[in-house]
Structure formats: C-alpha cells, structure tokens
Amino acid sequence: MSASRSVRDRVARHVRDVPRSGIRDFFDIVSTMRDVVSLGVGEPDFDTPWHIREAAIFGLERGATHYTSNLGLLKLRQAISRYVERVFGVAYNPENEILITVGVSEAMDLAVRALINPGDEALYHEPCYVSYRPLIEFAHGIPAAVETPAANGFRLTRELLEARVSDKTRLLIVNYPNNPTGAALTESEAREIAAFACDHDLLALSDEIYAELTYDRPHVSLAAQPGMRERTVFLHGFSKAWAMTGFRLGYACAPPELIEAMMKIHQYTMLCAPVLAQEAAIEALKQADRDVAEMREEYNRRRRFVTASFREMGLPCVTPAGAFYAFPFIGDLGLSSKDFALRLLEEEKVAAVHGTAFGTCGEGYLRCSYATAMDDLKIAMERMAGFVERRRRAAR
C-alpha cells in the first residue's frame, strides 16, 4: 500500500491534482448495465457518409499509409481554406495558416500550450466541454471560469466577462454552439465578445466544432468579427457535422506566428494527423453541404421532439439553438444532478450526463444528447416522463 501511495506521489502535481472527467465515472457505471437507452453520447449516431468511407478505403488501396507533412496534406489545407472562407467568412492561407490535427482536442491542447505562460489566466465559460479547464491546468495556466446562467440562455456576455477579467488574463476560450447547453450566439453577441477581447488585448480560442449544426439562425464565427482574425485561433473539425468522430481529425486556423508555434508542439509530439483520415476529409469537403443538410434536418426534428417532450414533463428547458444537446432543468425534483442521473439510470435505464460534469454551475441540469435514433429517443422520453412524475409525487 505504502509503495503504491508513494508511486502516486511521484505523479506530477499539476496532473495528479486534476480530477478525471465525471463522464468517465458515469461511463463505468453505464457499461456494466444492459438495455440502457443512452442520451449520454457526445457524438453523432449516424455513421460517416458512405462516400467518405469509400474514399478512405480507396486511400488504403492506393497505399496512403505514410506520414504527411507536419501541417497536413496541402490538398486538404487548400480545401479547408476554401470551405472556411465560404462558410465562416474568414480567409486563411493554406500554406502557413492552417494546421491539421488529431481532432479538435489536439488543436485545443496545442493552442493552450502555445499561448499560455505559467501563471497566465485563461477565461472560459461554464457549463462547457470537459477539457478546457484541465488543458489550462496541464499548461500551468490559471483557469478562470465565467458562469453563464440559464436566464440568458447560457450565452456569454461582455458584462459577465468584464466581471472576471484581470490583468493576468491572456486568453479567452469560447465554444458556441455549445456542448452541453446547445446555446449559440447571435451576431451582436459575438461582436460584443470580440470587442471585449480587443479592448483587453486577449488572444481567443474559438471552438466552433458544432458550427454546421445550428437550427434557428446561421452560425456566426467569432473569428469573423472585427479585429478578431489576428488574435483568434479558429478551431474546427470533421467529427460532428460529418459524423467522423473516430477518424480523429480537426484543424486550427490562425495567423502564421500562432500556427508556427502550435506546429512546433505538434511536430514533436504527434508528427502528423493520420493520412487516411486526411484523405477521407478531402472527400468530406467535396459535397459538404449535402451531407450536413441531411443530418441537420434529422437532428432538428429530434430537437423539436425532445424540447416538446420536456415541456410536456414540465421541465424548463432553454430551446437549444445548435449542436445536439438539450440541457433541461431538473433541480426542483429533490435530487442533485448526479443523483438524478444515477437514479434515472438505475430505475429507468436511461443514461444522461449530470450537468455538474460540465462545471459546478451545471448543478440542477441534465445533458440530454439527441444524437440518438428517434425510436430510442421516444423510449427515453417516455421512461423519463414516468421518472419525473414519480419524483414529483415523492417531493410533494
């Protein structure tokens, strides 16, 4: 025992002190159970469109089994450059302003490590994706969470940011459309955040992985706002809109100096993203809009279905504007988020992730992913309605 404790003590402090993701623990419980209907999945239920998989198979046949340049295949960077300019309205030079990475996760890590000095503060908003805080801590930075309340639809405002910024703040991490809340920014809100970043001379990381999945209004990119291109690392990838999570392919677009810094870390730690995934991504961008439109339409149908179901159950829920998550309020049913999720799993075999996995201000909420087949969603909503009804009676 004492030997194992001493081994644990030898793990670097800044790693040891970071807890593992709450989602991980929940996953361990779910994986011991059978017949669970899961609303806990942060990835599309669709398989990658067939023509993209076909391109990967063809790549294998042709012998695409080697390293690529550190930045990634030029042909892919060129296709990304065209796509980002057309869809997001920002032009990046494929020669030196685009870096292909292993998922947006790697790009985020590279950016944080390349831009933060030990002791620098990084602002990010909660509830948010599980990685931001740990990545900042791994880079010896100081995480500064800005809580976004449901009252404002979980959207970030200048006012919230001003209350948290300090003279040590160097970086601002923004993720809209948002995991886990489904919130998305309006043009004027994005502009306001941009003005804040410019006035405080901050660098920004904009994680726009769900950009294609917006339902009520088109996505607005933070990178496209006035004064932002030169201070923003724009992060995007193929996982969500093209249902390519397992390909692990993302990219970063930024001014050459920032890409060069990120590339150095990538070069020494990753060398390059997998070539087959890059070949598949080239194909994905060939008929990007069509693939995405089909999936978006289906997500939108499910979004309406789950929000209507929550309304029927009497659970307040901010209508998600993007991504594929709904974040209903379950806080007045006498259980903490975590207990609610555990009991829902035990009693109804429905898995959904407790809001606190995404930050302490997620208490009272439940992340329900609707990236699940409609038939399963129907079962899940029925079971959940029964559970909520029982909780209400018990709470009375």
* Residues at the contact surface with another protein, assessed by CB under 8 A: 21, 23, 26-27, 30-31, 36, 38, 40-43, 45, 47, 129-131, 179, 301-302, 304-305, 308-309, 351, 353, 357, 374, 378
What is the Cα–Cα distance from 40 to 374, expressed in whole angstroms? 15
Q: Which is nearer to another protein, 224 or 352 (CB)?
A: 352
Q: Which is nearer to another protein, 27 or 332 (CB)?
A: 27
Minimum CB distance to another protein, residue 395 (Å): 26
Minimum CB distance to another protein, residue 24 (Å): 9
Minimum CB distance to another protein, residue 90 (Å): 27
What is the Cα–Cα distance from 54 to 48, expressed in whole angstroms? 10
- Residue 349 and residue 37 in contact, taking contact as beta carbons nearer than 8 Å: yes
Minimum CB distance to another protein, residue 203 (Å): 24
Token pair for residue 270?
């990753």
Q: Which is nearer to another protein, 92 or 242 (CB)?
A: 242
Classify 5 as helix, strand or coil.
Answer: helix
- Residue 85 and residue 78 in contact, taking contact as beta carbons nearer than 8 Å: no
What is the Cα–Cα distance from 324 to 302, expressed in whole angstroms? 9
Classify 235 as helix, strand or coil.
Answer: strand
Minimum CB distance to another protein, residue 130 (Å): 5
Q: Using the CB atoms, write b or e for 73-98: b if 16+ within 10 Å.
A: beebbbbbbeebeebbebebebeebb
Q: Which is nearer to another protein, 24 or 286 (CB)?
A: 24
Q: CA 146, 151, 154: angle at the middle one, nearest 5?
A: 45
Nearest to 133 by CA among 265, 266, 259, 19: 19
Helix spans in 89-215 (H): 103-115, 132-138, 158-162, 187-199
What is the Cα–Cα distance from 372 to 383, expressed in whole angstroms? 15
Q: Which is nearer to another protein, 88 or 124 (CB)?
A: 124
Minimum CB distance to another protein, residue 266 (Å): 22
Minimum CB distance to another protein, residue 270 (Å): 20
Minimum CB distance to another protein, residue 198 (Å): 31
Q: Which is nearer to another protein, 190 or 351 (CB)?
A: 351
Positive or negative torsion for Cα 203, 221, 363, 357 = negative
Q: Which is nearer to another protein, 148 or 372 (CB)?
A: 372
Q: Which is nearer to another protein, 130 or 204 (CB)?
A: 130
Q: Which is nearer to another protein, 104 or 258 (CB)?
A: 104
What is the Cα–Cα distance from 166 to 162, expressed in whole angstroms? 9
Place of tokens 């149908």: 301
Which residues lie across from 236 on neighbouring strands? 251
Q: Which is nearer to another protein, 81 or 309 (CB)?
A: 309
Minimum CB distance to another protein, residue 136 (Å): 16
Q: CA 248, 251, 253: angle at the middle one, nearest 5?
A: 175
Token pair for residue 172?
């601002």
Q: Phi then psi for 66, rounded to 5 degrees?
A: -115, 175
